[in-house]
Amino acid sequence: MHGIWRDGNHFQLLPEAARFLPAMFEVLDDARESILIELYLMESGRLAAALIECLVKAAGRGVRVMLLLDGYGAMGLSSDDRERLEAGGVALRFFNPLGFHSLARNLTRDHRKLVVVDGRVAFTGGFGAVDEFLDAWYEVAVRIEGPVVADWVRLFSRLWDSPLTRGRGEAGLVRGLATTTPEADGYRGMRGRVVWGQGYRYQAIRHSLQQQVSGARRRLWLCTPYFVPTFTLRLRLARAARRGVDVRLLLPGDRHDHPGVRYAGQRFYGRLLRAGVRIFEFQPVFIHAKFSLVDDWVSLGSCNFDHWSLHWNLEANQEVADRRFAGEVAELFERNFAASREIRREEWARRPRLQRFREWLYGSLDGMLTRLR
């Protein structure tokens, strides 16, 4: 489903954990009324321990703290950490724990990433509470203020009270939502909306992106760690490149947490390159960020371009239609392109047989996945 476009927001781009983690913890430490957190990944470690300490302290000073984790993505969170959260006054729930029910239900995961404090400041991106985000993975987040924060709260509240969500903790909406524009020079009137998907064969994020791709005029730059796009998206990317749009993909290089997914997506490189799409593989670390830029439209959040995100998961992105913000995202893309290796058409045509075999093997497995119901 799509949210409503709302004016009067303030969006701040926060690339890299060295910027967005301190920003988030600062806001969490200042919480006075409520903290809502929804994450796919949370595993015991340094980052999770710091977050738990922060949340327990907040609950101790009377803040209403609600933590919603995916039942599969949080399997690495120890029982001691779970007990510490609940004993400290944090309301803890898990979405769709694995069980002996349908395969489709087990495949549907809550992949959203959201932090909302006092109903006034929100953060989203591709982050999680796992130590890889401290130094091993490159990630991007956005700080959100203004009317769209209320849409994020409503999205969280619906899932918190969903029949698929298990655990103890109070129910109900958080009151006192933001409806005013923050006083930030140069950012008054930024337009944005929340767009989300309900999992299992329907993703509004995909439809929104496809609409933007089809209407692109100048530039179409996409960053995703898991690039296994649908046929329709591949076709639209190629068509955009052929009509003269600057189409670029920013994808991970050899440092990848799921190499098989990378090989499955690489089987599409040849046709995209022949159509004029430029492909860059990021070299410094594994790039886990998910953000898109089409002319002056930006989408940033949890959604990848693979079959889990596009067909199974619950996802949510923040869309922004603002020239200044788009310019900042373009600068971030340019810095990352400079730190990447561009895949050239002639070079790719000469890739070794082992690489081609891997593309065929993992592409076949990917094809089997798409036929699951």
Between CA 352 and CA 291 the distance in angstroms is 31
| 262, 178: one domain | no
- The verdict on 285 and 307 lying in the same domain is yes
Tokens, residue 199: 């999992």
Domain that includes residue 134, residue range = 6-194
Nearest alpha carbon to residue 216 among 256, 248, 184, 190: 248
Residue 143 lies in a domain: yes
**For residue 318, which of 185, 145, 161 has the smallest C-alpha distance?**
145
- Give CA–CA dist 43/60, Å, rounded: 23
Which of 194, 214, 249 terminates a domain? The answer is 194
Task: Clarify whether residues 23 and 136 are in a common domain.
Answer: yes
- Is residue 128 located within the same domain as residue 141? yes
Strands 246-252 and 314-321: unpaired
Q: Which of 161, 109, 120 is nearest to 312 (CA)?
A: 109
* Whether residue 171 is found in the same domain as residue 199: no
B/e letters for 145-170, b = 16+ CB within 10 Å, e = fewer, are bbbbbbbbbebbbebbeeeebebebe
First to last CA, the chain: 21
CA distance 44 to 15: 24
Tokens of 71: 């039942």
Q: Among 67, 198, 63, which Cα is nearest to 128's?
A: 67
Same domain? 36 vs 180: yes
Rounded Cα distance between 268 and 260, Å, is 14
CA–CA gap between residue 69 and residue 165 (Å, rounded)? 9
User: Is residue 90 situated within a structural domain?
Assistant: yes
Residues 265 and 360 occupy one common structural domain: yes
Domain boundary among 162, 177, 194: 194
List per-residue pLDDT tens for the chain, 373 residues long. Answer: 568 999 999 999 999 999 999 999 999 999 999 999 999 999 999 999 999 999 999 999 999 999 999 999 999 999 999 999 999 999 999 998 887 665 566 678 899 999 999 999 999 999 999 999 998 999 999 999 999 999 999 999 999 998 888 876 555 544 444 444 444 444 468 999 999 876 555 568 888 988 999 999 999 999 999 999 888 889 999 999 999 999 999 999 999 999 999 999 999 999 999 999 999 999 999 999 999 999 999 999 998 876 656 667 899 999 999 999 999 999 999 999 999 999 999 999 999 999 999 999 998 887 776 665 4
Angle CA(373)–CA(165)–CA(301) in degrees, nearest 5?
Answer: 75
Q: Residues 222, 213: contact at Cβ < 8 Å?
A: no
Query: Do 170 and 271 have their domain in common?
Result: no
- Structural element, H or E, at residue 184: none
Q: Do 205 and 188 lie in a common domain?
A: no
Name the residue with tokens 């591949």.
234
Rounded Cα distance, 172 and 103, in Å? 30
Output the domain CATH number for residue 128.
Answer: 3.30.870.10
pLDDT recorded at residue 101: 62
Of the residues 136, 168, 194, the one at which a domain ends = 194
**Quick one: 212 and 175 in the same domain?**
no
Instruction: Please indicate, yes or no, if residue 1 is contained in any of the structural domains.
Output: no
**Residues 175, 289: one domain?**
no
**Tokens encoding 298:** 């930006």
Indicate whether 275 and 358 sit together in one domain.
yes
What sign does the dihedral 365-367-368-370 (CA atoms) show?
positive
